[in-house]
Structure 1
């Protein structure tokens, strides 16, 4: 590679200049592309690249018609920047004040502005001499000294911005709420990052074309994203992939006499697909392997349910196979997995719970019996309750289960008369809970009383929950005042929800 670069420098200086310019474009695109990928604004970068055409044409026409100058580079550059700003502003405005989603707005705006540029080229073809093919695929081999210096300046400015603002950019990229809470001007940082992206796109498109700029902005960053979990590492890896893609594509284009921009993007895409296939953690093969080794959650939960219902909460592998109808290998695999998680003990062929395993099983049982109770209220036939609840219990949404519990009035038993386990996830010493969730024997101190409760209970009182009455629809509590006097009071569900208690 080194000898090849030396040969290029001495034998063909214009090729060397094109190579250096291309590497500058690659470096800055790969670096800022990481933020584009992480912020999921790749489509916006594509829009900026395409919308430039209108700005280039307007700048060209302005200098041609007003000053009689042909292909005035600074004017076209300024026109491109203005076009990019207008595109971003219109996307933001329409997205904010219409019901149309941002991705649709981006598609509408950038195609419209790009098409407007094409219309201008056709209407003023006698004045505008722009090769649309070069605009799309670039003319890397025809870069001028002005292009090289412009690209160098933009590269230094953008990379300096990334280095100096790295911590802020990192926080804004991953947690905008946290950044705002720390006093960072999130909107300003977004605009600065968008401005840097626009600068890179505007200068890069003039050198390497739309296709290569978009490819360099997205492909190296996306490839690095499959390999890295840290932004700093992702930046370096992205630049490395950008360089290798550019150099390999450049060499192949020379050997096969094809457009460098197109070949470079092909190589970048090939790199991404290869990494997507073999990445050790986030690649396709790794995902297939994980899925093959994974144990379906329903198998795990069915095993927990069988053990919970077994005599003394102990049973053998054969019993699990009989009651779950899964194959013995799947049962053993799931049991071994839960033994590693310390949910189960497996000794001498007998499976039993650990404390954590019993907790998980009771959580599942609570969901099952609440779903049965809810389905009964909906009028589902009794013979269908168990099977339907068996399906619904595997929906891992604790909020939904808590919602059912509240809407049903915190029932104590299911339609078959079996006890519904209490909400042990929330009933922890020191936690503040509403009286409605508590069961017989719970004690605590009142910390809040709602407007529905006029007299019997006040903040600071000690309470002991008794046995519910009236088919579990009335809460009975013994209230002890600060002066030591005690009294028994009864509340309905709505009133019980108005009293908050810190559990002992």
Structure 2
């Protein structure tokens, strides 16, 4: 126990760890909040583009300060240069997307690699003036956070969070329903640029600590983790910020204990968090999905129950259903019957079950599909003894216009190969409230 307490407390006494913790948590808080909007708008690739484009801005800011003022590594200048490079990249992406037939995701890939390459070329040409460690820029060094990095992250975090709080409702409406937002008079385009500016500032402030590659993960992964746990934007933002902070704290301890790279440890911890939530999330996790699939009654069983009761032309005992309906496992038929009762497809009687009006309509659709498939199979020369069993398997394929396509292809037949009437599409109540006429059964 003492060993564990010492392992947790000892790093907190180190100045470098304190700075990394403060700076990382500040970036994580704002990254989670703005990252939620990025995830909802499917803009993850844009964050990657901005982080890579920053090297051109850093190189430009460094070169300008060196040539004009003889100052090296002036953080505000590089920060401003990075922001300008991000804005130019976004503008180029927007212009090319509008004036060409190339899709936006392709344009993002073209532009961010182009601007990134420009930065690398500038650094190599003016290497006597620009002393930038490209590996540090790409991988980051969260354990080497400087005071200027702390001030930059604090200012950016405060600014971006203020914008998100003040215009939360605007961003929310523009993210979920941009057409409605525009119809109510909201400046949707301006909101898009404001969000892009927020993303740019977050990326710029975080790159020096976690690097180009990992800043996108810190922006996206906590938000994606929160997305698995929440259906409300405000709750999602709060959870994303929390997951971002726990990623920084856990990652920093991990890198100290394992003597590994700081940025990599933070993102490793962040990814592990996502995987745990992916498995255990109560509604959208893999275990929850497995339980739902396990308890789900196959649609084929439901339709077989409907068609069996329809063909019995009245009250149908459970033992008859057991005789004609095949189920994947024991007990599935009873679960199917109970579920169909709850959904209002069948109703219980003293000696069995009968269809409701809604159930009769659905059964008529299945019967229509079965007899059209029989007609089609007979028309293509299927052996007579194979027509019915094959149609029984295919009758459950009646979505996406399949049955209507068969009906058109066969010339809208009125009877199947056995001389039985094919139920009409969209039948209402027939005799005695039946969804189809008795002679069509």
TM bucket normalised to smaller:
0.7 to 0.9
After superposition, the Cα gap between the structure-2 partners of 1:190 and 1:360, relative to the gap in structure 1 and judged at 3 Å, is same
Q: Distance in 2 between matches of 1:91 and 1:393?
A: 49
1:353 aligns to what? 355
After superposition, the Cα gap between the structure-2 partners of 1:396 and 1:52, relative to the gap in structure 1 and judged at 3 Å, is farther
1:211/1:265 contact within 8 Å kept: no
Question: Is residue 2:59 matched to residue 1:65?
Answer: no
Q: Distance in 2 between matches of 1:396 and 1:164?
A: 50
Between 123-132 and 26-35, report the one with greater CA deviation: 123-132
Decide which of 258, 261, 280 is 1:259's aligned counterpart: 261
Q: Distance in 2 between matches of 1:335 and 1:257?
A: 60
TM-score by length of 2: 0.85
1:169-208 superposed matches below 5 A: 169-208=171-210
Between 343-352 and 294-303, report the one with greater CA deviation: 343-352
Q: Distance in 1 between matches of 2:374 and 2:274?
A: 49
2:297 aligns to what? 295
After superposition, the Cα gap between the structure-2 partners of 1:313 and 1:92, relative to the gap in structure 1 and judged at 3 Å, is farther
1:127-178 CA-partner distances (Å, limit 9, x unpaired) = 2211122212223333333322222221122111111211121122222232
> Unaligned 5+ residue runs, structure 1?
429-438, 441-504
How far did residue 270 of structure 1 move?
0.8
> Aligned with 1:352: secondary structure?
strand
Between 24-33 and 96-105, report the one with greater CA deviation: 96-105
2:24/2:245 contact within 8 Å kept: no
CA RMSD, 1 decimal: 3.3
* Structure with bigger RCO (C-alpha 8 Å, 6+ apart): 2
Q: Distance in 2 between matches of 1:167 and 1:306?
A: 53
1:277 aligns to what? 279
2:21/2:248 contact within 8 Å kept: no
Q: Distance in 2 between matches of 1:225 and 1:286?
A: 15
How far did residue 288 of structure 1 move?
1.1
1:176-203 CA-partner distances (Å, limit 9, x unpaired) = 2322332322222111111111111112
2:324 aligns to what? 323
1:104-140 CA-partner distances (Å, limit 9, x unpaired) = 3333332333233223333332222111222122233
> Aligned with 1:149: secondary structure?
helix
After superposition, the Cα gap between the structure-2 partners of 1:97 and 1:139, relative to the gap in structure 1 and judged at 3 Å, is same
Q: Which has the higher strand share?
A: 1
The structure whose Rg is larger is 1
After superposition, the Cα gap between the structure-2 partners of 1:236 and 1:70, relative to the gap in structure 1 and judged at 3 Å, is same
Q: Distance in 1 between matches of 2:404 and 2:166?
A: 48
The total of aligned residue pairs comes to 426
How far did residue 255 of structure 1 move?
3.1
Decide which of 240, 252, 257 is 2:242's aligned counterpart: 240
Decide which of 302, 306, 309 is 1:307's aligned counterpart: 309
Q: Distance in 2 between matches of 1:266 and 1:333?
A: 43
1:384-438 CA-partner distances (Å, limit 9, x unpaired) = 665565455434536555676678776654454433434447x69xxxxxxxxxx
2:436 aligns to what? none
2:340 aligns to what? 338
How far did residue 382 of structure 1 move?
7.9
2:30 aligns to what? 28
Q: Distance in 2 between matches of 1:59 and 1:368?
A: 72
Question: Is residue 2:43 matched to residue 1:41?
Answer: yes
Q: Distance in 2 between matches of 1:166 and 1:195?
A: 15
TM-score by length of 1: 0.75
After superposition, the Cα gap between the structure-2 partners of 1:120 and 1:392, relative to the gap in structure 1 and judged at 3 Å, is farther
Between 335-344 and 96-105, report the one with greater CA deviation: 96-105
Between 166-175 and 92-101, report the one with greater CA deviation: 92-101
> Aligned with 2:354: secondary structure?
strand
After superposition, the Cα gap between the structure-2 partners of 1:162 and 1:399, relative to the gap in structure 1 and judged at 3 Å, is farther
Decide which of 35, 46, 57 is 1:55's aligned counterpart: 57
How far did residue 21 of structure 1 move?
1.8
1:5/1:16 contact within 8 Å kept: no
Between 208-217 and 20-29, report the one with greater CA deviation: 208-217
Q: Distance in 2 between matches of 1:245 and 1:21?
A: 13
1:317/1:331 contact within 8 Å kept: no
How far did residue 89 of structure 1 move?
2.7
